[in-house]
Amino acid sequence: MSMSSGRSEDRLQVAVVGAGYWGKNLVRNFHGLNALGAICDSDPERVESFKQQYPSVKLFHAYSDVLRDPMIRAVAIATPAEAHSDAVREALLAGKDVFVEKPLCLSVEEGEGLVALAKKKNRILMVGHLLWYHPAILKLKELIGAGELGRIQYIYSNRLNLGKIRREENILWSFAPHDISVILGLLNEMPEQVRAQGGNYLHHQIADVTISLLSFASGVRAHIFVSWLHPFKEQKLIVVGDRKMAVFDDMEKKDKLLLYPHSIDWKNNIPVANKAEAQPVELDEGEPLRTECLHFLDCVTNRTQPRTDGDEGLRVLSVLHRCQQALEKESHRQEQRVRSTEKKYFAHESAFVDDGVEIGEGTSIWHTSHILKGSRIGKNCKIGQNVVVGPNVTVGQGVKIQNNVSVYEGVVLEDFVFCGPSMVFTNVFNPRSEIPRMNELRPTLVKKGATLGANSTILCGITIGRYALIGAGAVVTKDVPDHALVVGNPGKQTGWMCVCGVKLVIKGKKATCPTCKKSYKVTAGGMKTV
């Protein structure tokens, strides 16, 4: 219900919805442009506070009253981000043009729906990515387009402050949209790869600090550092080209954009940096927010496409979503490391350990290895780099699995087995890509103390006996007796091995280790200790 009525006049009237922390700035600017038709906020005291300052402006408590008002042609939404999707949708359905503060919404799917709805209804949809209305960013875009910086190599931004700390969204969604928008616009491409990491310090589910890393097909890399736990305010964007470097510092009162014509010379195959004095770039005057509001009014009046339209907002939303996914993935990995500590085994930060895995005390799992669900690994094992174990694989105690080995389902390794680098297990005898045969697994058993040499291959359905040794590169096609030495392709037994790993000396039906002096006798089932 309207609390006061404004003058009825033939002018474009915009309603500002959400007049709090940032919304009050929209109120001020649209009023200064003679376009403020109404203010809507759910807080009665806040609405009342505008009564004296803007006596001719309509004041509303309910958003539905704004949408029913025929004099209001457009709305500017500055509510919390979680409310953006519903507010934008309702306004579009009511036939209003929409300006919405960043981010467009909190879901890519919802964002796609909003953009499609705006096009269907032939309504203006503009997202408040304020930096694209800043003279410095517009000039920087112009300089890059003209080749002034040369080939762009790297971009990074810092958006840091102590506060404003939010509970409805994390720092990534609160601070980073502006910088993502600028980086995408400067490069005119979407990132191929996105990574992110951060820290939750004030609330266990809300990130207070994040660093997002973007990689582009052009070879450009970028990172975005945002925090509301920083001792001072900093808002910088740095673009590194192979001819010049540009620094946009929004905290500077003067010379917000500087060019550094540094160069790199090679002397005796050593790069030497030649530093040059900064060159201030002359910029147009104007408050970015006023320019943004004026741009929205022009688009509504002339039915033209906004500089930061729904499609641009959707691109930013997509990158935000990918950053959030990467952030959650990294957080999960950190939790795994904590669990590893609690369970008294070590897993490198790049290793993946699925839920439902049992790992014994003293075991270490190294770079990029993956332990799949249902697997059990005993105490004091050494799992090297790029190793895959599982699913549902049993590994005994004291087992060493060297780099680049995959221990597939169906393989059992007893205690103190050694798997050399890049050796191979199989689990299906006649695999076909187009014919599923996981129900035809043939089990492989490697008994206690056996050694499988580097690059050896063990066909499925085979048992490797206790303390057997398979030579490097051998291909084992049949069962191997206890203590047997097998080499070649196909693998053939060429001798017998001691428990200590030394070839036995055979005399008749007796054998002796020349190193540890253990004695054995030859039986039908292989070597037996005397």
Q: Is 438 found in the same domain as 355?
A: yes
Task: Indicate the pLDDT class of residue 9, thresholds 50, 70 and 90.
Answer: low
Closest CA to 242 of 157, 149, 156: 149
Residue 10 pLDDT exceeds 80: no
The average pLDDT across 477-497 equals: 95
Q: Which domain holds residue 273?
A: 132-284
Question: String of b and e for 340-356 (b: at least 16 CB within 10 Å)?
Answer: beebebbbbeebbbeee
CATH, residue 206: 3.30.360.10
Beta-carbon contacts of residue 359 (< 8 Å; ≥ 6 apart): 340, 343, 345, 347, 353, 365, 371, 376, 377
Given a cut of 50, is residue 395 above it in pLDDT? yes
Is the same domain home to 76 and 29?
A: yes
Residue 397 has a pLDDT of: 97
Query: Rounded to whole angstroms, how far apart are CA atoms 516 and 325?
Result: 56
Q: Give the model's pLDDT for residue 187.
A: 97
d(CA 56, CA 102): 29
> Does residue 136 sit in the same domain as residue 106?
no
Task: Indicate whether 176 belongs to any domain.
Answer: yes
Same domain, 82 and 150: no
> Could you tell me if 71 and 146 lie in one domain?
no
Of 65-74, 237-246, 436-445, give the lowest mean pLDDT range. 436-445
Confidence of residue 339 (pLDDT cuts 50, 70, 90): low
In the chain, % of residues over pLDDT 90:
79
Structure token digits, residue 179 = 């910088």
pLDDT tens for 193-213 read 999 999 888 987 889 999 999
Query: What is the band of 340 on the pLDDT scale with cuts at 50, 70, 90?
Result: low
Strand 526-529 versus strand 519-523 pairing type: antiparallel
Q: What does the pLDDT read at residue 365?
A: 96
Q: Express each pLDDT in 291-309 by its tens digit.
A: 999 999 999 999 999 999 9
Q: Among 234-243, 321-330, 518-527, which stretch is predicted with the lowest mean pLDDT?
A: 518-527
Residues 277 and 187 in one domain: yes
Instruction: Inform me whether the pLDDT recorded for 432 exceeds 80.
Output: yes
CATH of the domain at 22: 3.40.50.720
Angle, alpha carbons 23-26-28 (nearest 5°)? 115
Structure tokens at 51: 């009564």
Q: Please tell me whether residue 138 adopts helix, strand or coil conformation.
A: helix
- The answer to whether residue 344 scores a pLDDT higher than 90 is no
Nearest to 500 by CA among 487, 524, 517: 517
- Residue 527 falls inside a structural domain: no
What does DSSP say about strands 411-413 and 444-446: parallel, antiparallel, or unpaired?
A: parallel
Domain count, the chain: 3
pLDDT tens-digit profile of 270-299? 888 889 999 999 999 889 999 999 999 999
Looking at the structure, tell me whether residues 188 and 107 fall in a common domain. no
Per-residue confidence (pLDDT) for residue 508, from 0 to 100: 82
pLDDT digits (tens, 9 = 90+) for 74-111: 999 999 999 999 999 999 999 999 999 999 999 999 99
Same domain, 127 and 139: no
Q: Which amino acid is at 166?
A: R
pLDDT in tens, 27-79: 999 999 999 999 999 888 888 889 888 999 999 999 999 999 999 999 999 99
Residue 153 is assigned to a structural domain of this protein: yes
Whether 8 is in a domain gets the answer no
Amino acid in the structure at residue 470 = I
Helix (H, G, I), strand (E, B) or coil at 376: strand
pLDDT of 1 above 80: no
Tell me, yes or no, whether 60 lies in a domain.
Answer: yes
Question: Residue 2: what pLDDT?
Answer: 39
Q: What is the pLDDT of residue 529?
A: 82
Q: Per-residue pLDDT for 427 more than 80?
A: yes
Stretch 372-385: mean pLDDT, rounded?
Answer: 96
The pLDDT > 70 percentage for the chain reads 96
Q: Are residues 260 and 138 in the same domain?
A: yes
Average confidence (pLDDT) over 478-500: 94
pLDDT band with cut points at 50, 70 and 90 for residue 341:
low
Decide if 513 is inside a domain.
no
Same domain (yes/no): 351, 475: yes
Q: Contact, 336 vs 353, CB < 8 A?
A: yes
pLDDT in tens, 349-362: 899 999 889 999 99
Co-location of 435 and 494 in the same domain? yes
Residue 57 · residue 36 · CB < 8 Å: yes
pLDDT value at residue 418: 98
Mean of all residue pLDDT scores within the chain? 92
Give me the mean pLDDT over the 332-344 stretch. Answer: 65
Given this model, what pLDDT does residue 260 score? 96
Q: How far is CA 399 from the centre of its chain?
A: 34
Distance CA 232, CA 161 (A): 5
Q: Give the three-state DSSP class for 301.
A: helix
pLDDT at 6 over 60: no
pLDDT digit string, tens, across residues 310-327: 999 999 999 999 999 999
The whole-angstrom separation of Cα 103 and Cα 170 is 12
Domain membership flag for residue 91: yes
CATH number at residue 473: 2.160.10.10
Tell whether 526 is covered by a domain. Answer: no
Neighbours of 189 (CB within 10 A): 12
pLDDT-derived band at 335, boundaries 50, 70, 90: low
C-alpha distances in angstroms, 387 versus 346, 364, 368, 423? 15, 12, 7, 11
Confidence of residue 375 (pLDDT cuts 50, 70, 90): very high
Residue 405 and residue 488 in one domain:
yes
Paired residues of 472 in beta bridges: none
281-284 contacts at long range (C-beta below 8 A, 24 or more positions apart)? 281/136, 281/139, 281/143, 281/255, 281/257, 283/135, 283/136, 283/139, 283/256, 283/257, 284/135, 284/138, 284/139
Q: Using the predicted structure, report yes or no on whether residue 424 has a pLDDT greater than 80.
A: yes
pLDDT digits (tens, 9 = 90+) for 154-202: 999 999 999 888 877 899 999 999 999 999 999 999 999 999 999 888 9
Tokens 């517009």 sit on residue: 138
- pLDDT value at residue 168: 75
